[in-house]
Structure 1
């Protein structure tokens, strides 16, 4: 590996970094070994109150800052992310486990978000309504106020950047609670913003017991909006907390992405694309392709080709040059994945590749299950790990019914050379994002979000910035 963990872990409150100083702490684990590599300090109730007060004061300053000046700060932060990419990516790999090449890509994508929102901040236009001479009516858009954002550990840098870039570009101040598992890389992101000249208090960074922090922040009258990325049960819980204060919410929740593979696709090209995508970040991706429904005439060829490629996915520490897939991110995940695989096998699924835990750390083998019945737990609950499940379908109508069977609707994918089939699928599949012959459904300029139990509201694109704005109509006579 050749690199050690080197990060100063701290809270960021009112422009100053706060370290231990008697606070409780949380052990940061290298998931490749299971060893503790650092301790991150946790915020107390007093810390949270100070962060809230600071965000409240800073909002009046930041919302009055011209959009061009806000954009300058965001562009400088993007440049610093790129300058510090190798160090930040190394922290990300050591904390989260993904291969270093994937971590570098995450840093680059995070920088792109800041650049895009910096430009879009100058285009948050209102409009003028038609009125008789001597009268005026305008529609303005203004920042909603201080926001609380909660982000998960699977893409700790990118998902934090996606919320921060949009909120800051819109003129909001932020209290951010990223995951305790990955404090080094997220702290490095906030340092880039601070070093870029962000005014004191505009971003507060706190770690802490998730339930305590979320209850404390959401209950505060300072917070005007909540943005959360994570599981469906936690999303429901935070919505209940937000309802008491009638706070607006954006919820990007879990998925269970179907992949419909039709017999007119380029099969070898499709396999070469889907297998690496399935095992990206060890399958810990909310839009990870998971339920592979394959047309009957090519089904056996598909699962055989998928299995052969899966056997070739090399696992190892993310800093090892030959690693194509790292460990799962925490100690809970291997056991959960193992239980899902065992349940599917007991119900008749064939284990075509993998299916077992690794010998050290939090590794789980890249896995393919074929002939998986609908009553298997893994067909109904998102595995969030390196397991692909496959089953055959006969007609397009059959495929769409299978894709839409679950209450989730984040992303869905299909592979076909038929234009008519592609058009019908785009309309018929119940998902916030549909990829036809591509997995590229997340981009800085595109809305990202789900339907049904996968949440509501969008992040990315102008839609992502809209959620941090309120609309005001001004009438003059």
Structure 2
């Protein structure tokens, strides 16, 4: 099926060259999108800039109404959206359905937060002066989204921007743009004014390049690799564009000797193997205290062996394909390196068939010298390292430039509190392998990003603070 862009409420790109979107499970073409570039980006920016004048003047209640309508449309079309998502990037259909609900939760949340943007009155030092803080939308926003959560990463960015009174241009990943096209169809059904939300597909270099140099774009919100994030930071300096960056992760998962091991096993399975391990917050480095190491490895491995790998469209599938051959090679290289340096593969450890499926894998007796403990694997591989003390676990957990998510399992409140106080991560799951929620701030420390998405903090990224001093003579 041929899909098109949506700029200023119009279908655009029918005559442009096409980019194929392939199902990683079968390598079949499931759709095409226009291979747009700088010219299409300029059209979208112009439309968003023009519509900002009127959209920014709408009331919070009007913006909330549009968002609530869109939320209802997402939920009533969740089966179709989920199927599109699974076909374009391989995620098991049950997880895709869960993502649609998760994506809609951001729209619902920010429909309400639109009505919670408050200013302030500051006590004046002079009798004839009044001092106020006003909140204003930042302007045109460019939202650059990744392939692994193609719908939720759109709504997590677009919903607060729209609620704040901004207008948006969406640039989805070339790997999974089809769900973005369907999202725009629902935007049209929700009767959003033309130009408020726009979609461009095609060359990242050309489209993002235009977004970065065009002065009409005042805000960039991006989810992706730290390497690309650093490039955007450099490019933003020319115009001092505002940035929100959710970048790479390399999450440690600490299991102390007083943890509920069965709960810890369930937590790691949920965190590590969701979306075949292709999530920025999934457990990448598992540190287990010596007293419970053997018990955890045994119970965890037994659970992993039960996971079913297959086409995401099959309801029984727990783990779908990796996104492409490059991802498969990276996972294989990480496992091979660990083997060569003395680690033991307990279960899994190899490619399945000729495609891009990889066995859910557990590796024990790993150490910090192995690549898998130094780099984000982005695959269904769980490396486990034994630690003697909580101090050792903290030191190993923090020994990375990343600081997105971390996990700790302990039943001792005082112990858990002290450990978390020393962890340099923006998100911590304490006895919880799935901490993400629309009402909570999401973002990282160190090289894992700038700013927060979700929660009431998610609105701040799209608002300017204006101080007004009023003379009353």
Out of 395, 399, 404, the position equivalent to 2:398 is: 404
Distance in structure 1 (CA, Å) of the matches to 2:149 and 2:355: 20
**What is the correspondence of 1:57-96 to structure 2 with a 5 Å cutoff?**
57-96=50-89
Q: 1:177 Cα deviation (Å)?
A: 0.2
Given that 1:97 and 1:318 are in contact with CA atoms closer than 8 Å, whether structure 2 keeps it comes out as yes
Q: 1:436 Cα deviation (Å)?
A: 0.6
Provide TM-score, normalisation by structure 2: 0.97
Given that 2:37 and 2:203 are in contact with CA atoms closer than 8 Å, whether structure 1 keeps it comes out as no
Matched, 1:238 2:249: no
Given that 2:51 and 2:194 are in contact with CA atoms closer than 8 Å, whether structure 1 keeps it comes out as yes
Secondary structure of residue in 2 paired with 1:38: strand
- Deviation per CA, 1:272-321: give whole Å up to 9, x if none: 23223311100011000121100001112211222111111101111112
Distance in structure 2 (CA, Å) of the matches to 1:53 and 1:188: 23
Matched, 1:368 2:368: no
Gaps of 5+ in 1: 1-6
Q: 1:210 Cα deviation (Å)?
A: 1.3
Given that 1:102 and 1:281 are in contact with CA atoms closer than 8 Å, whether structure 2 keeps it comes out as yes
Matched, 1:199 2:154: no
Matched, 1:154 2:167: no
Out of 91, 96, 100, the position equivalent to 1:103 is: 96
Distance in structure 2 (CA, Å) of the matches to 1:373 and 1:473: 53
Partner of 1:56: 49
Secondary structure of residue in 2 paired with 1:118: helix
Q: 1:135 Cα deviation (Å)?
A: 2.9
Partner of 1:341: 335
Given that 1:410 and 1:451 are in contact with CA atoms closer than 8 Å, whether structure 2 keeps it comes out as yes
Matched, 1:472 2:472: no
- Deviation per CA, 1:312-347: give whole Å up to 9, x if none: 110111111211111112232111110111011111
Q: 1:19 Cα deviation (Å)?
A: 3.7
Report the number of matched residues. 470
**What is the correspondence of 1:77-476 to structure 2 with a 5 Å cutoff?**
77-131=70-124, 132-476=126-470
Given that 2:322 and 2:357 are in contact with CA atoms closer than 8 Å, whether structure 1 keeps it comes out as yes
Given that 1:48 and 1:206 are in contact with CA atoms closer than 8 Å, whether structure 2 keeps it comes out as yes
Secondary structure of residue in 2 paired with 1:420: helix
Given that 1:96 and 1:329 are in contact with CA atoms closer than 8 Å, whether structure 2 keeps it comes out as yes
RMSD of Structure 2 on Structure 1 (CA): 1.2
Secondary structure of residue in 1 paired with 2:345: strand
Q: 1:423 Cα deviation (Å)?
A: 0.7
Distance in structure 1 (CA, Å) of the matches to 2:73 and 2:421: 41
Partner of 2:22: 29
Q: 1:471 Cα deviation (Å)?
A: 0.5
Q: 1:475 Cα deviation (Å)?
A: 1.0
Provide TM-score, normalisation by structure 1: 0.97
Given that 1:8 and 1:184 are in contact with CA atoms closer than 8 Å, whether structure 2 keeps it comes out as no
Secondary structure of residue in 2 paired with 1:281: helix
Distance in structure 2 (CA, Å) of the matches to 1:286 and 1:301: 27
Given that 2:2 and 2:31 are in contact with CA atoms closer than 8 Å, whether structure 1 keeps it comes out as no
